[in-house]
Structures are given as structure tokens and as C-alpha cells.
Structure 1
Amino acid sequence: MTVAEAFDAVAGTYDEARRRLVPCFDAFYGTAVEVAAPPLRAALAAGRTPEVLDLGAGTGLLSLLVAAAVPGVRLTLVDAAPAMLAVARDHLRDRDVPHRTVVADLADPLPAGRYDAVVSALAIHHLDDVGKRALYRRAADALVPGGVFVNAEQVAGPTPALDRRYDEVWTARITELGSDADEIAAARERMRHDRPAPVADQCRWLTDAGLADVDCFFKEWRFAVFGGRRP
């Protein structure tokens, strides 16, 4: 089963488990929105519609949060799983948010255009490290000057011992929040496709891609939010 097929299979129930499977949900997604928001508000102040590209957008969860925080944005959502994007379209139409969806893999060329923010949540870790670096370069090139890239991501520990500890903490936390054995098993099955990388490596790759002010803005065990700005 491919990554897209694995996520299409759970498209109808994916969102309801997010707050259990991402124990730091509010801070994690909230930080990503805070990082993305300033250039979007600047575009509005200049009389221009802010353009947002959401990579691996899934059911549109991050896009919806960005649109709620900065009304008036226009969204482009990219994902390889059409059933996930169908859920996103329904949510965005219900809220009258201007958008387009593109069925594409993250290794494919990005949709044409220049963006005030390129965002992603829990998707880029499906690429290998070479693929991540290539995507970061394409994302940086797609930004307008002053635009930001932000990745709310599942990351690897910098050592095998820490990576095991990340998993122990995650398992304990999601169990406390009500994930049962079936939900945990299904999550682990999807995680077979994961290729996470440490935060420090990925921040270095963003700098190599030409971004400035690169930082990790939030981190709680395996969940991190990091990004940078196009000069």
C-alpha cells in the first residue's frame, strides 16, 4: 500500500483522532499558524490577496486554521491522496474559503505561482532526506520576498536512544488521551511509511535552500515546528 492509499483509507475518520495522536495539538498547530501569519497580514495591508500553498494538505486541517486566523487568504492544497483532498474541499467550501486542490506527490513540481506562505503539517517526513532537501529548495523558490516556509512536523531524535524515548512518551501520552489498541496499531501501520529526520538537520537544509531567520519555533518530543523566511 502506498502512502496515498494508506491515508485515503482513513480520510473519513482522520481528523477525529488528531487531538489524541498529536498530544500537543493546540501548541503545535497554533505555532505553525503564528509563524505563517505575518506575511499574510502584510499582503492584506498592501491590498493584495495572500497566497498560501499547503504541502501534503490532507483533509485541510492546517489550511483551515490559517484561513481562520487570517481571513481573506487564498489557498492551494497539494496532496497525493484524492479522498483526503475531497474532505478538505468540503470543509473549505462550507466556510467559503477561496481555494484550489491539486492531486500531486510531494516529489512533483509545485503548482505554478508565488506564495506568501508555504506551509506543511505531518507530511514531508514521508520523503527520504534527499527528497526533503529538494522539496525545501522548491518551496523556498516559490516564496515571494519576505514570504515564509513553516513545517509542523514529526521528527526523529538526534540519537537512537532519544528516538526510542520519543516513541515511549508518545505512546504513553496518546494512551492517556484515549487512543485504544486499534487506533494505535493503525497509526503505527501508517508510520511504516515515515522517514523522519532530526530538527537540526532540517533547519540546516532550510538555510542551504536560501532561507533566512531559520529556527525551530516549537518542539515537544517528536513534534516540532520549524521554518524560515525568504530574504
Structure 2
Amino acid sequence: MNGHGQHKVKSQFDEAAQQYDQQRKMLIPCFDDFYKVSVSLASAATSSPNILDLGAGTGLFSSFLLQKYPEANLTLIDLSEKMLEIAKLRLKGYTSVNYSVDDYTNYISDVKFDIIISGLSIHHLTDTDKQTLYKNIYMNLKPNGVFINADQVLGDTPFVNSLYKNDWKQKVEVSGLSRPELDSAYERMKLDKMSPLQTQLDWMKKSGFSEVDCMYKYFNFVVLYAKK
């Protein structure tokens, strides 16, 4: 992601951070299943796994993981400092949590992780950056480590993509969000750089993952799973 694009993403999400959580449920028609499936897939051989959250935002996905693994060592990375401030408030009861304001695309860690997660973030990266990221995720995982990406994908054809968009639009329009909130969500959508589902599964396989699958799909909301 170039500097200007990064700055644009950062400033728009800083602005949205305060309202982000209450809106999230209204903006994701399949919210409960989306996160339940993701948490179900998070497995480790220890009760205190090392977990990395890429594009952690306000710490929503991380908070669900901490309910499953209260003793986890957690690292949250996000471009937006304001988002991570909210995450710090949310997760203040937990001691083993680290925060990093950074672009996670090229993140290589000395410490390897049991579980790497990402929620509604990777679709902001270009295709090239996604491929780089998947390779780095593979490197940052321990053997048998798992990667769970709860995200949005592009339809394989313009027709299918319009089905995705229209269904989402109809549902969020009657979700109870205000017009300014809806307009802000539509504006953020312009930053999306979604890639097709199969393309991303192929990129993960090429990165070296032995097991790769789409474990959940609701129109363009998907939970992707990869095991090292």
C-alpha cells in the first residue's frame, strides 16, 4: 500500500473508530455466525497460545479470541492509533497484550505464532500486497499454526458481484443506521480492493499452507482457514 493510500485509509478509520463497534453488527448481516465460525476454527496445542491480530482495529476479533483463550499472548497491529486506543480500553483486563501501530503487510516476527487472525482488513490491500502478506503469515506461524481471515471477497463475475452488493445494501439500509453512518460506510467501501475467493485460496496454497478452505460464506462475507 503506498503512503498516500495508507494515509487515506488511516484517516477515514480514525474518524469512524468511535462508532465503529456499534455499527459493526448492523453492517455485517451475518455478524454472529461470521465471528462464531472464526473463533471455532482457532485451535492451539496450548492454553496460552501466541496470537497475532492483523488490522486489529478496535480489538473486536481479539476480544472473542480472549474469551476462548484468556491466557493467550496477544499482539494487535493496526495503522490507526485511535482504533488501537479503543482496543486498549476494551482489553484492559488482560495482561499479555501488545499493541503496534504499523502496516502489517511486511511484518516479520522473531516470535512465531500459534494463531494469526484478521477481520475485515485484508480486502484493503492490493493483490500484490495480499500475496506478500500470505507468504509472511506462513513464515510467522509455528508448525501446525492456523490462519483465520474473516473478510469480504469479490464476486467471480460482475453479475455475482452485483448480487453481493445489492443484498448487502438492502440489509444495511433497513438496519437502523442513520443516513450519515450509511454514507460513511459507502464512502469507506470505495477503499476496498477485494479479490475473488478462489484466487485467494490459491495464493494461500502457493504460500505453503497444507490445508486451505473457505469455512463459511454469506454472499461476499467469508471465513478463510489455512493451516501450516
Aligned to 2:198: 200
Q: Deviations over 1:20-68 (max 9, x none)?
A: 00110010011111111x21xx212xxxx31000000000000000001
Aligned to 1:12: 18
Q: Which amino acid aligns with 2:200?
A: Q
Whether the aligned pair in 2 keeps the contact of 1:156 and 1:199 (CA below 8 Å) is yes
Q: Deviations over 1:183-217 (max 9, x none)?
A: 22100111111101111111111101111210000
Aligned to 2:36: 30
Cα distance in 1 for partners of 2:127, 2:14 equals: 24
Q: Which is worse superposed, 212-221 or 174-183? A: 174-183
Aligned to 2:154: 156
Cα distance in 1 for partners of 2:52, 2:19 equals: 24
The runs of at least 4 aligned residues of structure 1 exceeding 3 Å deviation read: none
The alpha carbon displacement at 1:97 in A equals 4.7
Cα distance in 2 for partners of 1:204, 1:154 equals: 16
Q: Which is worse superposed, 173-182 or 131-140? A: 173-182
Aligned to 2:217: 219
- Extract unaligned runs of 5+ from structure 1: none
Aligned residues: CA RMSD:
1.2
Q: Deviations over 1:147-172 (max 9, x none)?
A: 10010001111111111110100011
2:12 counterpart of 1:3: no
Cα distance in 1 for partners of 2:153, 2:58 equals: 21
Whether the aligned pair in 2 keeps the contact of 1:211 and 1:229 (CA below 8 Å) is yes
Structure-2 change in CA distance of 1:189 and 1:111 (3 Å): farther
Cα distance in 2 for partners of 1:19, 1:76 equals: 24
Whether the aligned pair in 2 keeps the contact of 1:116 and 1:144 (CA below 8 Å) is yes
TM-score using structure 2 length: 0.94
Please give the residue correspondences for 1:45-194 in structure 2 after superposition, counting only pairs within 5 Å: 49-93=48-92, 95-194=93-192
Percent identity of paired positions between Structure 1 and Structure 2: 36
Whether the aligned pair in 2 keeps the contact of 1:206 and 1:227 (CA below 8 Å) is no
Whether the aligned pair in 1 keeps the contact of 2:106 and 2:132 (CA below 8 Å) is no
Q: Which amino acid aligns with 2:20?
A: Y
Count of aligned pairs: 222
**SS in structure 1 of the partner of residue 149 of structure 2:** strand
- Extract unaligned runs of 5+ from structure 2: 1-6
Cα distance in 2 for partners of 1:132, 1:193 equals: 15
TM-score using structure 1 length: 0.93
Cα distance in 2 for partners of 1:4, 1:18 equals: 18
Cα distance in 1 for partners of 2:110, 2:9 equals: 24
Cα distance in 2 for partners of 1:117, 1:185 equals: 35
Structure-2 change in CA distance of 1:111 and 1:80 (3 Å): farther
